[in-house]
Structure 1
């Protein structure tokens, strides 16, 4: 069908969801393609949803999410006016880009990075300025600084970076902030910050207290294991939050998500114990692969990156045959999420076969 529409839409790549676990006869399969938490929701979260949300599905949720907003403000030592909710941190980022950028404006971000960035920027009618990562998968801060100009409306820092799992050091982030004009916003997208145990990492909330032009995006999808409920949040100056709320999806964060988020915050210690277990599994897998002779960026998230270049598709087929769905970036590499212990054992086995057969 031929229909009139915005030409820029034709340039937007469709977002590809991580593939489900492949069906392989005679063996258990695992989905390790979407950086999801392998643990099921806590019993306390499930009970709270049953007791406080199911009987309210016929009613609209509190659009401001006031209970969650107030709780987050208290936990972070900011005012409620500094907090905005969204349908996952992806919607928070979409709010910010929509607020700041349009035709003729530029958004600077590392690449390869989160696949939604170019989609969100193009959807707003703005121009992406993609800065290639360093060979170690990290942000090229000097190149990001060099890309700044009068058209720049937003700079995105993804820490740890998805899909390379590389961490942004505090000194790098500070060098960037000193170079960015005070009227240009810098977004620190920290969807995986709970898994980042790099001692030199940048902590966005520390910088937020020093630089008023920072926005911090966090999510309940990863460490808290609420990916299916879609709730994230941003922390910014009150006028920025007000602007973001104007372009937000009305009633986008459901009552179920809000209830689950509140109970998850109450169970933070229990959930962080799960995070520590995931980090331990990540480190176990990484150590095994390094012993096999693999060379890849040191990961600081609940996933790691195998830069396979032209052999990416051949390697991906091996994972699929073993009952593992991974995130494949054609001609570049594979992102592998840390999953159940059995899934991680399979990853180690497949990587050994790839190494033995000269595919790595």
Structure 2
């Protein structure tokens, strides 16, 4: 006889990471192509000498550094094991069986997983034209059972960012007792002057919680450090749901040092943004219908041809992130890797156009 496990877990998918294979260029996980920022590796190595000690449970130094950098009180902050770890803490604070969580789809694939693990019901709202979030539809999907709405900006995996005016209207439309999580994992890559910055709305909306990470712009994906910014009552609840000592000393010290290297971080992000712009413009010239992107990736709407396109990239030595029957997300990498991807994308697009006699890849 086997142990009796929760039946609710039977149909919950396992989170699927971007593929990694030796000898192939990995453009499948939205990783930063640069190594750790100056001084970060040295500080992390020094912290490793104390690995026989527990890390600071409260992450006090990291919280203090974040508070200064963001201009918020320390009691507005909670840290965890990457933004997805903090997301799970957030869902645990508000959602239980019988509740609903509203989110856009396609969006970050962890959303339905963490919601269903908590036993709540998922309410997926389709994207609007241009692979953008439909904030009006998200607000309209809120019911008396809704405890949480997730808003991803820039949206992973499609790229567009939520605009300031539409986010303001959305927040006004959502009931004050429903928590809104604004997932800004890629906020440092945003260059659209009209994009919403969650910090601008935090003071006037007690039901708003921001979700950010050190995995992307700061290049600490392997150390798992994320954080939430929320009003004190919400932030305290998020901290209660944290795994004790979840953020290691090495990760805390690396994050602190990374925060102190803002100029170097911005220079690297600028380089990625420049490559992002170059890649998207080249894809548009090839004929692809690539949506706007404010993240460190591009989205190709390959539809039913998604597996074929991903296979073509693999034959060219490139790993991309396919979403079956929808599209492929491709991380911006080193310039030479981007060149190889563009060559592959152009060749495949031209081949499909010749076969189909149309201007589209699907």
In which range does the TM-score fall when normalised by the shorter chain?
Answer: over 0.9
For residue 97 of structure 2, what is the aligned residue in structure 1?
103
Post-superposition, which runs of at least 4 consecutive aligned residues in structure 1 deviate over 4 A?
none
- 2:343 and 2:3 map into 1 onto residues whose CA distance is 50
Q: 1:18 maps to what in 2?
A: 18
Is 1:47 equivalent to 2:42 in the alignment? Answer: yes
1:272–1:252 CA distance, 2 compared to 1 (3 A) = same
CA RMSD of aligned residues (A): 1.1
Task: Give, in whole Å, the separation in 2 of the partners of 1:291 and 1:116.
Answer: 33
Listed as ranges, the gaps of 5+ residues in structure 1 are 24-28
Aligned partner of residue 4 in structure 1, secondary structure: coil
SS of alignment partner, residue 39 of structure 2: helix
Asked if 1:206 is matched to 2:200, the reply is yes
Are the counterparts in 2 of residues 22 and 320 from structure 1 also a CA contact under 8 Å? no
Q: Does 1:30 align with 2:25?
A: yes
Q: Secondary structure at the match of 1:68?
A: helix
Q: Report deviation, 1:170.
A: 0.8
Unpaired runs of 5+ in structure 2? Answer: 354-360
Question: 1:293: Cα distance to partner?
Answer: 1.1
Q: Which residue of 2 aligns with 1:125?
A: 119
How many angstroms apart in 2 are the aligned matches of 1:147 and 1:7?
27
Q: What is the Cα deviation at residue 42 of structure 1?
A: 2.3
Q: Give the counterpart of 2:58 among 61, 64, 68.
A: 64
Deviation at 1:201, TM superposition (A): 0.5
Any conservation in 2 of the 1:41–1:226 contact (CA below 8 Å)? yes
CA contact (8 A) 2:40 2:257 kept: yes
- Equivalents in 2 of 1:316, 1:54: separation in Å? 39
Deviations 1:153-211 (A, max 9, x none): 00111000000001111111111101111111100000001111112101101011221
Q: TM-score when scaled to structure 2?
A: 0.96
- The structure-2 alpha-carbon separation of the partners of 1:55 and 1:22, relative to structure 1 and needing over 3 Å to count, comes to closer
Task: Select the residue among 134, 137, 146 that pairs with 1:143.
Answer: 137
Contact 2:38 2:261 in 1 (8 A): no
Q: Is the 8 A contact 1:212 1:237 kept in 2?
A: yes
Count, aligned residues: 354
Match of 2:216 in 1: 222
- Over residues 205-240 of structure 1, what are the superposed CA-to-partner deviations in whole Å (9 max), with x where a residue is unaligned? 101122111000110000000000000110111111
1:22–1:311 Cα change, 3 Å: farther
**1:267-313 Cα shifts (integer Å, max 9, x gaps):** 01111100000000011111111111111211110001101111111
Matches within 5 A, 1:292-307: 292-307=286-301
Quote the Cα distance in structure 2 between the aligned partners of 1:128 and 1:332: 20
> Secondary structure of 2:131's match?
coil
Does the CA-based 8 Å contact 2:100-2:147 persist in structure 1? Answer: yes
Deviations 1:125-177 (A, max 9, x none): 10110000013111111111111111000011100000000111111111110
TM, length-normalised to structure 1: 0.96
Partner of 1:288: 282
Q: Which residue of 1 aligns with 2:7?
A: 7
Maintained 8 Å contact 1:22/1:324: no
In the other structure, the counterpart of 1:26 is none
SS state of the match for residue 358, structure 1?
helix
1:246 aligns with 2:260: no
Q: State the distance in 2 between where 1:50 and 1:311 align.
A: 45
Inter-partner Cα distance in structure 2 for 1:345 and 1:155 = 38
Deviations 1:88-140 (A, max 9, x none): 01111111100100000001010000010011000111011000001311111
> Deviations along 1:51-82, whole A, 9 cap, x unmatched?
2x011100100011000001111222211111
Please state if 1:311 is matched with 2:310.
no
